[in-house]
Structure 1
Amino acid sequence: MNEAPYTLSHLDALESEAVHVFREVAGELERPVLLFSGGKDSIVMLHLARKAFAPAALPFPLLHVDTGHNFPEVLGYRDRTVLEYGLRLHIASVQEFIDDGRLRERPDGTRNPLQTLPLLDAIERHRFDAVFGGGRRDEEKARAKERVFSLRDEFGAWDPRRQRPELWQLYNGRHAPGEHVRVFPLSNWTELDVWQYIAREKIELPAIYFAHEREVFARDGMWLAPGAWGGPREHEPLQRRMVRYRTVGDMSCTGAVDSEAATVEQVIAEIAASRLTERGATRADDKLSEAAMEDRKREGYF
């Protein structure tokens, strides 16, 4: 009797690829670090990393570039997670760089573009040679161009012309002194894949990702939350609406979407019907120009 060949589901295949990437980096490079903000992609990335090395402890620390304008729910989740799993967390603070004059506050109050200098400073100070990030190719055009292993020069800058081939999942982490590698284990995942994996693995998320009533105001076609970053202005009245967040970042540039999706299953159904990427729909910093993300990546941004 012929048995049907064993095949992996698409989520199993994505999980296997990500676990392989984590193990490759741990075996090939000396001082990796995982970017962790408490956002859904970094949460899934941490879940995969813990799976990759279980039952041992995670062999590298976490790093959060804190803008000072983060959502309180997300920061609370970050701190609970670090405490629960006994993880090591480094925090690079944008506010510290503003306070000591190394950075200047932008007129629009947005701090996302200000993350580059604190990130590069932390990489240099701790001598990290590999930095895991949760970027996915479906999010944005510049991220679609990037390899799983992305070489950065001694200034942290990305040059698309220096990208290396990655045939047969063979990754090259070789780099000169002062350079480092950005690594994207979720490169081939989509937003829908992430949510389906969250459902399958029963991963807890901050409540901000599910429909809840919140005070927001309209600006540039998005619902923004009020905060110390400078919103709303006089002509931007506050409203209470049922919203949720598809992505989380600096409060000044991360918009909410109208939604009634209060469970993981309802979110999956909502995303499956959507025709807008999460960053295209809710991130003002990516709407500055067609090449906004690519310009920032060339300067050292993630």
Structure 2
Amino acid sequence: MTPIPDPAADGIRLQKVLANAGVASRRVIEDYIVEGRIRVNGEVVTELGRRIHPDKDLVDVDGTAVQLDVSKRYVMLNKPIGVVSTMRDENGRPDLRQFTKDYEERLYNVGRLDAETSGLLILTNDGELAHVLAHPSFGVTKVYIAKVEGTVTAQTIATLTKGIELEDGPIAADKARLLDTSRGSSLVELTLHSGRNRIVRRMMAAVGHPVTELVRRQFGPLHLGTLSAGKSRELTKIELGALLTLARQDSPADATPGDVQEKQ
């Protein structure tokens, strides 16, 4: 009887692929395999001779996804006010090219922030990840700090989390809290998973507190931290692993290139 061919037999050894991806040395990765800490396509691998196809197989270590394609680049940008979230603006306004010109790869933005909103924006050449994260049905959690007109009360905060009616349907913040109130204005932190257009500005206007300044501090597992406006940095391996894990857990089946991206 002719033996059934092993589909992974013509691939590359798992420990070599993970070592090339910068996870650890081959010797350490072999220990991980024996300890059952590595999964390929959701199945625990314990054989040291396992081969995989890096362009097809999904691998995670201790439950954290690993990017096997070392040509992919992931950059966090603190987009400043006055810059539009596009690589080339038809109206000649400042765009994202000034932040990508020093990278060899052709990077694109994941989602959008409007010109008057600053904060965390991801730039990458990983089109598949970008389409998943920006897809309206994905609902990645985002945290914003809004400076608004007037004195926000505890009742207003409760209204934001309970839900309000907008022209395109009801919306509720996942979380909302008042950070500060002084000199006729307030700072409010809003956590949302909605990707609807300019949703933070519309929500705050609906409760009588128009936004005067808005910054996105968090996108999924990524935090802006101390990154200054107009500065960028590559994601750490821990940040990238968390982002890839999130995307793989709930990837929308109908996410395709060209989907509408949210704009805040």
State the TM-score, normalizing by the size of structure 1: 0.24
Q: Which has the higher helix share?
A: 1
Q: Which has the higher strand share?
A: 2
State the TM-score, normalizing by the size of structure 2: 0.26
In terms of Rg, which structure is larger?
Answer: 2
